[in-house]
Amino acid sequence: MQWHLDSFAQPGQVNPVDSIFTSGNYHVVAYNSFGCSSSSDTIYITYCDPTVSFDLGLDGAFNLYITNLTAGHSIEWFVNGQLDNTVTGNLYTPSINGDYQARLTSIYGCKYFTNIYSFNSVGVISKMRIIGYIQIQFKMN
């Protein structure tokens, strides 16, 4: 047996079961003891790397954002486990206190979830007044 990826023989991949670590078109060629061969059908396999992860952060304007976003991903936002399909960009302005999470989908269909960010700042009003060199800050709920 010999496994092929995109028509190229894969060195050392000669067992009936193979591990996939790259997306592409796969097929296997089987040989008998007389040297005759037969090729399988070709199948496209999408490999979703399990080591890929994304994180949420909070900017100075209280927007959530994906800190390590890379090109080629669409974004969906979840609030308390429910999809909010009104926002699909990298910035999300929370309107309620709760748990926020984003799901990113690659151009190949791989789906990755960010960490959950618990947001608890809606309704907190901050007023600041500067007197001379002394700064006084009031917080009202």
- Over residues 26-40, the pLDDT tens digits come to 999 999 999 899 999
**pLDDT greater than 80 at residue 122:** no
pLDDT given at position 70: 86
67: left (phi over 0), alpha (psi -120 to 50) or beta: alpha
Q: Are 74 and 81 spatial neighbours (Cβ–Cβ below 8 Å)?
A: no
pLDDT given at position 116: 92
Quick one: average pLDDT of 102-126? 83
CA separation for the pair 54, 67 (Å, rounded) = 7
Look at strands 117-119 and 125-131 and give their pairing: unpaired
Bridge partners (DSSP) of residue 131 are 134
Quick one: average pLDDT of 7-12? 93
Distance between terminal CA atoms of the chain? 70
Bridge partners (DSSP) of residue 31 are 37
- Over residues 40-84, the pLDDT tens digits come to 999 999 999 888 889 999 988 889 999 998 888 999 999 999 999
pTM: 0.66
pLDDT given at position 140: 52
Q: Is 108 helix (H, G, I), strand (E, B) or coil?
A: coil
CA separation for the pair 75, 84 (Å, rounded) = 11
